[in-house]
């Protein structure tokens, strides 16, 4: 095994352990690293070799403090989150509830 491949495997292992400890999904990690989810899965299972871009992103993730990771993941979830349609929450009501929860200190800064 060459040194480059060994380093790639090491970065992927460390990133996976960090992901598990931070309780992120693989999809969230892939999104956070701007990597296609299916490609990420294929790399972790050995079907595809990881690209240099993916390794750089994972290395950056590994060096990022958990608090900062959570803030980024929160923003990803917030942008993807939509209330269930059966609740009939319109956008204004959604914003009002979000503001009320924020004022009550429910969300971390």
- Residue listed under structure tokens 């608090």: 67
Say how many C-beta atoms besides its own lie within 10 A of residue 69's C-beta: 18
What is the C-alpha separation between 73 and 31, in angstroms, rounded? 9
Tell me the per-residue pLDDT of 26-39, one tens digit each, with 9 for 90 and over.
999 999 999 999 99
Q: Whole-number mean pLDDT of the chain?
A: 87
CATH code at position 12: 1.10.260.40
Q: How confident is the model at residue 5 (pLDDT cuts 50, 70, 90)?
A: low
- Which residue range forms the structural domain that includes residue 59? 3-82
What is the C-alpha separation between 64 and 56, in angstroms, rounded? 12
Q: How confident is the model at residue 62 (pLDDT cuts 50, 70, 90)?
A: very high
Is the pLDDT confidence value at 54 over 60?
yes
Question: Into how many domains does the chain fold?
Answer: 1
Q: Quick check: is 73 in a domain?
A: yes
């Amino acid at each position: 095994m060459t040194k480059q491949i060994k380093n790639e495997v090491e970065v992927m292992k460390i990133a996976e352990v960090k992901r598990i400890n931070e309780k992120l999904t693989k999809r969230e990690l892939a999104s956070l690293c701007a990597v296609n989810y299916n490609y990420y899965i294929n790399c972790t299972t050995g079907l595809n070799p990881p690209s240099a871009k993916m390794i750089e992103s994972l290395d950056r993730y590994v060096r990022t403090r958990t608090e900062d990771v959570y803030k980024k993941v929160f923003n990803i979830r917030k942008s993807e989150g939509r209330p269930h349609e059966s609740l009939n929450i319109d956008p204004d009501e959604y914003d009002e509830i979000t503001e009320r929860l924020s004022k009550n200190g429910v969300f971390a800064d």
